[in-house]
Structure 1
Amino acid sequence: MSISNRRSFIKKITAASAATLIIPQLYAENKKRLKPLTDFNLNDSSEDFWETVKVQFHFDDGLYYFNNGSLGPSPISVQGATNSYRATLDAFPSRYMWGAWQEEKEKVRKNIANLFSVDKEEIAITHNTTEGMNLIAKSMDLQPEDEVILSNHDHTSAYIPWEVWQETKGVNLVRPKLPLLPKSVAEIVAIYENAITSKTKVINICHMVNTNGMIIPVKEISEMAHKKGVLVAVDGAQTAGMFSINLKDLGCDFYTASAHKWLFAPKGIAVFYAKKESQHYLKPLMVAKGHKDNSIRRLENYNTRNLPEYLGLGDAVAFHNSIGGKKITERSYALKTYFRSKVNKNPKFKLKTPENDVLSCAIQTLEVVGQPVSKIKKRLFEDYGIDTRPMSSYGLNGVRISFGLYITKKDIDYLVNALETIAS
C-alpha cells in the first residue's frame, strides 16, 4: 500500500467510518451460531498454519495491529456466536436472562477452570481486571499501619484500588522499584522479600507488567510470601491466554484477568480466581438477592448482566483450545525470538524488555535511539498503518509491541522494515 493510500486509510479511521463486517458462512447445519474452526492441523507449525489463524480475525484494510496488550480482537467465530446469543436473548429476554442459560453459564465456568487447571468453584466471571483488583482491595480487613506491597510497575488499575480502599484507612502502601532488565528470577524475588516486614499482609503482583512486558515470577514469590504469612494477589491482564498458566501451580491466592486481551473474548468480560482456602477473605462489591450464597458465585451476583458476552467467553475458550495452549505458548515465544533476532544487532535500536524467556514473552518494548517515542508511534501509524503503544515512563521511550496470534513473521518483517526506515 502506498503512503498516500495509507493516509487515506488513516483519514477513514479518524472519521470513524467502518465497512460493515460480513461474517463468512461458517454455520453448522441447522445451527444458528458460528462455531470455532475445528480443522486445525496441530502438527503443522508452518507459517501457512498461522496464516490460516490470521484470517480468523477481521481488521480494517491496511491495519497492522501490534497493540493487543491494550485490547485484543475477537475472532470472527466468537463475534458470530456472541451476536447470535444477543439475538436469542432479545427474542425472549426474561427467559434467557434468568434461568434458561444456567447450564451454559456453568459450562463456561468449568471450561475456564480447566483452562487454568483449577476447580470451577474457584472461578468467578466478572467484567475486567480492574473490578477484580477492587474486589480484592476492598475486601481486605486491614488495620492502620498494616502494609501492602505493590511495585512501581503495577498498573494504575492495580494500585489505585489499594489507595482508595486501604491507604485512606491508614494502611501503608510499599512501592519497591523493579529493574527494567533484571538478570534473574532470584533478583526479582529478593526485591519483594526485602520489602516485607512484620506488618506486611498482602503482596500485589503484576504477572506481566504492561510497560515493557517483563514477567514477574508469581510462583516463586507466592512460595516465599506464604512462608511469611502474606497473601498474594495477581493482576494477570497481560498473561491470561498468551501462554499456558496453571494457577494451582503458581500458588497465588487471587488472580484477576480481563479475557478481552490475549483470550480474544468479547469486551467487558473477565476471569477471577480465588483459591478455596482464601475465599473467606473476599466480600462482594455488589449485593443483591442471593448475597448469602457461600460459593464464589456471590462475587458475580449482578442480577441482570450481559450474558451474550458471558457465553461468548466460552466460544473464545473453545477457539483457544482448538489451537491448543501448548501450540499458542510456543508461537508466542517464537514470535518474540524472531522479532528480537531482527533488531538486536542494530545500534539504532535498544530493546527495553528482558531477553530471558522466563522473564518475557509476546510483549516487547523497543526504543529508536535518539528519537522521541511519540514521533515513532505517529510515523508507524500514519505512514505504515502499524498500531503500537508508546511507553514514555520509567525512561523507556519505546513503542510497546504485542505479538497476538494473528501476527505472522511477514507482519514482523514489515514492522522491522518500517522501524529501520524511520530510524535512518
Structure 2
Amino acid sequence: MQNSKDDMTENIVYNDLKEAFLLREDIAFLNFGSFGACPKPIFDEYQRFQRELEYEPVQFIVNKGPAYLKESRICLGEYLTCHSDDLVYVPNPTYAVNIVARSLDLKSGDEVLSTDIEYGACDRTWDFHCEEKGVKYIRQPISLPLTSKEAFLADFWKGFTDKTRLVFISQITSATGLILPVKEICIEAKRRGVLVFIDGAHVPGQIHLNITELDPDFYTGACHKWMLTPKGSSFLYVKRVHQQGLNPLVVSWGYKADFPSNSQFLDYHQFNGTRDFSAYLTIPKAIDFMKWNDWWGVAEDCRKLVHSWLPRLCDLVGSKPLAPVTDEFIGQLGSIPVRCENPLELKNILYSEYKIEIPVMVQNGQAYVRFSINAFNSEEDLIRLERALTDLKERKLIF
C-alpha cells in the first residue's frame, strides 16, 4: 500500500482493496447490494465531520453546514453530469420517491406505469399515495427471463394507456439484479408526453451515469451503495421545470425561509431540522477514493466474475439466468432463481452455518439468491457459495 497526496486531501491507493474495508474476515460478504460497505478512508472522513460537529454543533450546523453541503453537491453533480442545484440530499431513495409521489398533481383516474419487478418499498410508496389520490398504480408484468431489450420494451409499453401520467422504473432492479433500458424508456415516454421517474438506487458507482444525457424528469440514487459512502446518503435529481411543484416531505425552516437562497427546491428539501448530515459530506472523498483506485476498472473485473459464475450457479440449482449474461443486462448483481420451502430460513442457514452474508429475496412468488460482487470479493467467496448450495440441495432445502 502506498500513500499519495493531491492539493486537497490525502489519498490511498490499495494494492489489495480488501484491506480498505472494515468487513469481518470470517464472512463471505456477498450482499453489498443491500447497504453497501464503506472503505476505511471514507469512514474516517465521516468520523472527522462527526467530530467537528460535536466540537461546535451550532457553528457546524448553522454556519458551516450550508457551504459544506454545497461543496459536496458540486462534486456529486460533476460525477453524475448534472447541475448541482438540481440535486438535493435525502437519506435513501425511498424517501425521494415519497417526496415526488406526495407532490405530483395526479388526479383520480390517472395512472402510474411501472413494472412488476420493482423494489418493494417503492411499490408500497406508490400503492399508498395512488390509493389516497384515486390513482391506479400499474405493475406491468415483465416476462422473465428477458430475451432482448426490444422484448422488454414491448412488454413494458403494453401497460400504457391514455391515462398514464408517469412512468416509474428501476435502472437496475433489486431482487432480480437486471439492468433495464431506461434511456429508451425516457425517449419513448417523452414522445408519448408522460413524465419519467427513474429509481437508480444501484446505479452510481456500478455503471456509468450521465443524468443530463439520460434526461429523466426525476432520478434518485444511493451513494451509500456502490459509491461507498456511509449509510443514509442518497440524492434526488429533479429537472428544473418541476422543482417548484415539489413540496417538502418535512416542512421546516426552508418553507417561507427567513433568508431564502436562489432555489426554493434547495430551501424546501435540504434542511429538515436537526440531524447529522456528515454522511452527505463524505461524497467528495468517496469520488476521490474511486478515482485513485481505478473504480471503473474494479467494476469491470467484478462484472466479469459475476458473468462467469451466474450461469454456473444457476445450472447448479436447476435454473437459468434472468437475462443474457452480458453488460447490457447484468452488472455486479447476480440473481439465482431457486425453489425452496422457506426463503427466510434459507437466508439464515446460509449465514449461521456457512458464514455467507447473502439475501434470499421473493418477488412474484419466485425466490432468488442474489449475490453482489465488489472489490473485496474473490472467487473463493463464490466457491464457498457453490459448496453451500450443493450441500443445501443434498439436504433438500433447495429442490
Q: Matches of 1:408 and 1:99 in 2, distance apart?
A: 45
Matched, 1:71 2:38: no
- The answer on 1:407 being equivalent to 2:380 is no
| Distance change in 2, residues 1:26/1:103 (3 Å) | farther
Residue 75 of structure 1 aligns to which amino acid in structure 2?
P
Give the aligned partner of residue 108 of structure 1: 72
Partner of 1:185: 149
Change (3 A) 1:169 1:342: closer
CA RMSD in angstroms, aligned pairs only: 2.7
Distance 1:313 1:347, change over 3 A: closer
TM norm structure 1 = 0.83
Question: In structure 1, what is the Cα distance between the partners aligned to 2:286 and 2:26?
Answer: 25
Q: Which amino acid aligns with 2:366?
A: L
Deviates more, 1:358-367 or 1:348-357: 348-357
With over 3 angstroms needed to count, the CA separation of the structure-2 counterparts of 1:321 and 1:282, relative to structure 1, is: farther
- 1:15-71 CA distance string (max 9 Å, x none): xxxxxxxxx99898xx9xx9541x35xxxxxxxx5xx11110012241111111211
Number of aligned residue pairs: give it. Answer: 386
The structural deviation recorded for 1:218 is: 0.9
Amino acid paired to 1:333: R
Task: Please tell me whether residue 243 in structure 1 is matched to residue 207 in structure 2.
Answer: yes
User: Are residue 142 (structure 1) and residue 112 (structure 2) matched?
Assistant: no
Matched, 1:333 2:297: no
2:209 counterpart letter in structure 1: I
In 1, the alpha carbon distance for the partners of 2:10 and 2:341 equals 46
Does the aligned pair in 2 maintain the 1:235–1:256 contact within 8 Å?
yes
Alignment match, 2:397: none
**How far did residue 308 of structure 1 move?**
1.7
Residues 201-257 of structure 1, C-alpha deviation per residue, up to 9 Å, x if partnerless?
Answer: 101102222111012211100100111110000111122221111112222111112
Query: Which residue among 366, 373, 376 is the counterpart of 2:336?
Result: 366
Q: Which digits, 9 at most, give the CA deviation of each residue in 1:249-278, with x for residues without a partner?
A: 222111112222211211111111112233
Q: 1:313 aligns with which of 267, 283, 302?
A: 283
1:368: Cα distance to partner?
Answer: 5.1
Report the CA distance shift for 1:156/1:421 in structure 2 as closer, same or farther (over 3 A): closer
Q: How has the CA–CA distance of structure 1 residues 111 and 197 changed in structure 2, closer, same or farther, with 3 Å as cutoff?
A: same
Amino acid at match of 1:334: K
Instruction: Name the amino acid aligned to 2:226.
Output: W
Q: Identify the residue that residue 243 of structure 2 maps to in structure 1.
A: 279
State the Cα distance separating 1:412 from its structure 2 match.
Answer: 2.4
Equivalent pair of 1:138/1:161 in contact (CA under 8 Å): no
Distance of 1:368 and 1:157 partners within structure 2: 23
CA gap of 1:186–1:66, structure 2 versus 1, over 3 A, is same
Question: For residues 11-410 of structure 1, what are the structure 2 equivalents within 5 Å?
Answer: 35-37=10-12, 39=13, 49=15, 52-292=16-256, 293=260, 294-298=263-267, 299-340=269-310, 342-343=312-313, 346-354=315-323, 355-367=325-337, 373-374=343-344, 376-410=346-380
Check 1:341–1:155 CA distance in 2 against 1; reply closer, same or farther (3 A cut). closer
When residues 282 and 192 of structure 1 are mapped into structure 2, their CA distance, relative to the original with a 3 A threshold, is: farther
Could you give the per-residue CA deviations for residues 94-133 of structure 1, whole angstroms, max 9, x where no partner exists? 1111112433321210111111111112111111111100
Task: Name the SS for the 1:273 alignment partner.
Answer: strand
Give 5+ residue unaligned stretches, structure 2. Answer: 395-399
Q: Which amino acid aligns with 1:146?
A: D
Counterparts of 2:127 and 2:343, CA distance in 1? 30
Contact 2:299 2:332 in 1 (8 A): no
Secondary structure of the 1:358 match is: coil
Q: Contact conserved, 1:242 with 1:332, CA < 8 A, in 2?
A: no
Mapped to 1, the partners of 2:193 and 2:116 lie a distance apart of: 23
Shift of 1:409: 2.6
Q: The residue matched to 2:175 in structure 1 has which SS?
A: coil
In the other structure, the counterpart of 1:43 is none
SS in 1 for 2:127: helix
Residue aligned with 2:140, SS: coil
In the aligned structure 1, how far is the partner of 2:151 from the partner of 2:213?
21
Structure 2 CA distance for aligned equivalents of residues 312 and 107 of structure 1: 11
Identity %: 24
Name the structure 2 match of 1:14: none
Q: Structure 1: where are the runs of 5+ without partners?
A: 1-23, 41-48
Distance 1:283 1:190 in 2: 35
**In 2, Cα distance between equivalents of 1:116 and 1:387:** 30
| 1:172-198 per-position Cα deviation (integer Å, ceiling 9, x unaligned) | 212211122111111222223222222
Cα separation, 2, equivalents of 1:371 and 1:162: 30
